[in-house]
């Protein structure tokens, strides 16, 4: 199995992983053979990439770090909460807290966590998927920092609700395909305070969870918003979520930009260390995020094309690679898999959108 951009999807390919909407509705099931109108349906739904299955990669499984049922429940509850806020209805965060607790159990049961976020996301559902991913990324970072379950729960709840204020700003501006004007950007920036003041009036969340909603756009060097706080003036939870928020935004397709691959996103975060982000927290975060998730198509410096087939917990940037095509573009017939940690001269030079 490997991930492929929708632009390179062709009739006859086989779906490797079921594709669902943020409401949990199955769009296309695992095992279906792609037809032309399926591709049209995916494009219409805003899906930019899917997992496909080929014989050479039958043993390569792209497994989400949390159970699919829990991910779907978290997305649905986040969406329902934001819709209630938008309508001015009463809402409770009790169910949100409950699903975050379940996610924590998923993550604590995974020894040597290396994040391989494998959900297939629709551009229009970005906010809800993003909130769940930021929650997962933040909890993993909290585990790396030695947080107990109680502290992880407070962090996770703040993380999954960090963007609730976005439902209260102009959706037209939020989803604008082009560059924002200053007054439009100022409108978007209001979401942190709007979300905080909404949640503080309607729930009994712990103060530390609420601070995440208010502070997740503050920056370590004081250049963030809404208050321009810096360093330890910013709650530690907010410093964690700030990193998770930017990482997931960089690796997600938006209406106004295409995602970048995890390895590029990691380079970007490193360049911002001790400027925008707390260096010590960023170090913990990076130890649990792989540059090359399972299912990623890659080009090696030898000219061989392959698919990342396994992770290396100790060295996330040196995964296992299943070799598919040689330097001349011919299929490799023998079952060749390289563990890059044992081949120091072999490096990944490029992430590919299509292996052919």
CA 111, distance to chain mean position in Å, is: 20
The angle at the Cα of 128, spanning 125 to 129, to the nearest 5 degrees, equals: 80
Strands 14-15 and 19-20: unpaired
**More confident: 173 or 53:** 173
Mean predicted lDDT score pLDDT of the chain? 86
CA gap 23, 75 in Å, rounded: 7
Task: Specify the pLDDT at position 204.
Answer: 80
**More confident: 228 or 90:** 228
Task: Specify the pLDDT at position 59.
Answer: 66
The mean per-residue pLDDT over the stretch 191-218 comes to 93
Judge whether 55 and 30 are in contact, CB under 8 Å. Answer: no
Judged by phi (left if over 0) then psi (alpha if -120 to 50, else beta), residue 292 lies in beta
Judge whether 70 and 42 are in contact, CB under 8 Å. Answer: no
Task: Specify the pLDDT at position 117.
Answer: 53
pTM of the shown model? 0.84
CA gap 2, 321 in Å, rounded: 12
Has residue 111 got a pLDDT over 60? Answer: no
DSSP SS3 for 60: coil
Has residue 280 got a pLDDT over 80? Answer: yes
pLDDT per position as a tens digit, 137-155: 999 999 999 999 999 999 9
CA gap 56, 76 in Å, rounded: 36
CA gap 46, 63 in Å, rounded: 22
Please report the beta strands in the chain, taking only residues with DSSP state E, as ranges in sequence order. Answer: 2-5, 14-15, 19-20, 26-28, 49-53, 297-300, 305-310, 320-325, 337-339, 348-352
Strands 49-53 and 2-5: antiparallel
CA gap 233, 218 in Å, rounded: 10
pLDDT per position as a tens digit, 290-315: 888 888 889 999 999 998 988 887 78
> Would you say the C-alpha torsion 332, 293, 9, 32 has a positive or negative sign?
positive
Closest CA to 79 of 26, 128, 131: 128
CA gap 163, 24 in Å, rounded: 21
Furthest CA-CA distance within the chain: 64
Task: Specify the pLDDT at position 120.
Answer: 42
DSSP SS3 for 291: coil
What the chain holds in terms of domains, given with CATH numbers, is 2-53 (3.90.105.10), 68-286 (1.10.3210.10), 297-352 (no CATH)
Looking up tokens 């969870």, which residue turns up? 209
Task: Specify the pLDDT at position 329.
Answer: 84
Has residue 124 got a pLDDT over 60? Answer: no
H or E element, residue 84: helix 68-87
H or E element, residue 79: helix 68-87
Has residue 83 got a pLDDT over 70? Answer: yes
CA gap 218, 224 in Å, rounded: 4
How many CB atoms within 10 Å of residue 54?
A: 15
How many CB atoms within 10 Å of residue 52?
A: 20
């Amino acid at each position: 199995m490997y991930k492929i951009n929708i632009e390179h999807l062709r009739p006859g390919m086989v779906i490797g992983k079921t594709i669902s909407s943020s409401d949990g509705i199955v769009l296309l099931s695992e095992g279906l053979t792609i037809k032309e109108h399926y591709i049209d349906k995916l494009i219409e739904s805003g899906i930019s990439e899917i997992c496909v299955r080929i014989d050479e990669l039958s043993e390569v499984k792209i497994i989400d770090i949390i159970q699919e049922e829990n991910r779907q429940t978290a997305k649905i509850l986040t969406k329902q909460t934001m819709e209630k806020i938008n309508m001015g209805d009463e809402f409770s965060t009790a169910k949100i807290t409950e699903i975050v607790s379940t996610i924590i159990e998923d993550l604590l049961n995974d020894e040597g966590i290396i994040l391989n976020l494998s959900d297939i996301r629709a551009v229009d559902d970005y906010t809800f998927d993003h909130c769940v991913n930021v929650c997962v990324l933040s909890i993993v970072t909290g585990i790396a920092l030695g947080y107990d379950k109680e502290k992880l729960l407070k962090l996770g709840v703040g993380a999954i609700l960090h963007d609730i204020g976005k439902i209260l700003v102009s959706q037209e501006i939020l989803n604008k395909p082009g560059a924002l004007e200053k007054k439009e950007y100022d409108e978007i920036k209001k979401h942190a305070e709007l979300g905080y003041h909404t949640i503080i009036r309607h729930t009994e969340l712990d103060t530390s969870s609420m601070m995440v909603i208010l502070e997740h756009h503050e920056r370590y060097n004081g250049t963030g918003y809404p208050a321009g706080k810096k360093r330890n003036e910013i709650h530690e939870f907010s410093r964690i979520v700030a990193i998770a928020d930017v990482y997931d935004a960089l690796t997600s397709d938006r209406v106004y930009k295409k995602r970048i691959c995890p390895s590029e996103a990691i380079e970007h975060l490193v360049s911002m260390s001790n400027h925008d982000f707390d260096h010590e927290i960023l170090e913990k975060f990076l130890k649990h995020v792989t540059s090359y998730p399972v299912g990623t198509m890659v080009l090696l410096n030898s000219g061989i094309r392959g698919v990342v087939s396994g992770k290396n917990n100790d060295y996330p940037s040196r995964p296992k690679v299943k070799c598919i095509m040689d330097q001349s573009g011919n299929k490799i017939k023998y079952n060749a898999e390289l563990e890059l940690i044992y081949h120091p001269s072999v490096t990944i030079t490029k992430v590919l959108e299509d292996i052919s």
